[in-house]
Amino acid sequence: MLRSLTGIRRMSKLSTVIKELEAFAPTVFAEKWDNVGLLIEPYRKEGAEEHTVNRILLTNDLTEPVMKEAIEKQAELIISYHPPIFKPLTKITQNHWKERVVSACLANSIALYSPHTAWDKVVGGVNDWLAKVLVMKSIKPLVQEVGALPGNGSGRLVETNVPIGQLINRLQEHIENCVHVAYAVGHTGSTVIHTVGICAGSGASLLRDVQADLIITGEMSHHELLDFQHRGTTVLLCNHSNSERGFLREFQPKLNIMLDGSCQIFVSEKDKDPLVTLTRTSAAGDAPVATQQTN
């Protein structure tokens, strides 16, 4: 299903796209508390043809600016890493942004699919993308997925050999954003680390009992940071979605191959982390200024 000589693409059925997404990362991998898979299917009359997909928008979060972008790009399917429908909706009105997003999908016949923790666990998924910042001697899941092939599971534990300062620089380049550092007691930028625990997003609960020189995750609480510091583990925080978003650029060409080039696939230009890091200028009394930040 490649482009024809006239440049016209053949569309894919929604079920075909979902089948490929499931083949890449089965939703049975997702955590029990998660809400993944096809969340919105456009209405069709009885006997009507199945919803077809020509344009797909990839996003980390389906916010209202991203929803507007999807409509402007005439997407028939949004793949949102985080499920915008998580807790059950009791109504769909215009009073809350999540309800408006759902309403807009229905009004514009846009399907919505969310993979979330299924993408975290699968080989070649979000955590493996985040681990690419390291020169790895070995890599394995922190928790192996039951019944799955080796390599599929929650988080990652990596053996490496790199100074903390060098890793910080590489991580900032990899996520194209700022990194927050909590040095372990006795660690400095020149300390060489050999084991790294990784969990994209909010990883403190998964990483709590991991014995590692350093961990990389998106966010954690103040007291969790103190506990890691005093256990001899340096922590690198990327902000929650900045530890995940870059995977979409890697997944875009992969999905194109999976679908034999039958769909146009866009990575959202409006999707961004809600937090912006500000730094103070050197002059006393100057107002904080935003650091350079790319999302």
- pLDDT tens across 240-253, in order? 999 999 999 999 99
| Total-model pTM | 0.91
Whether domain 12-116+245-267 has CATH 3.40.640.10: the reply is no
What residues pair up with 220 in beta bridges, in sequence order?
none
Only one residue has tokens 């609960």, namely 205
CATH topology for 122-239 is 3.40.1390
Ramachandran angles phi, psi of 172, nearest 5°: -60, -40
Please check if 180 is assigned to a binding site. no
Please check if 219 is assigned to a binding site. no
pLDDT tens profile 42-66: 999 888 889 999 999 999 999 999 9
HSE (side-chain half, CA atoms, 13 Å) at 206: 26
pLDDT tens profile 172-225: 999 999 999 999 999 999 999 999 999 999 999 999 999 999 999 999 999 999
Please check if 273 is assigned to a binding site. no
Encoding tokens for residue 276? 């912006």
Please check if 20 is assigned to a binding site. no
Could you tell me how many residues make up the chain? 295
Ramachandran angles phi, psi of 30, nearest 5°: -60, 155
Average pLDDT, rounded, for the chain: 92
Task: Report residue 146's pLDDT band, with 50, 70 and 90 as the boundaries.
Answer: confident
In this predicted structure, the answer to whether residue 292 has a pLDDT above a threshold of 60 is no
Encoding tokens for residue 119? 């993408």
CA angle 148, 202, 271 (to 5 degrees): 100
* Beta carbons within 10 angstroms of residue 148's beta carbon: 16
Whether 122-239 and 12-116+245-267 are alike in CATH topology: the answer is: yes
Contact in structure between 148 and 265 (CB atoms under 8 Å): no
Domain positions in the chain are 12-116+245-267, 122-239
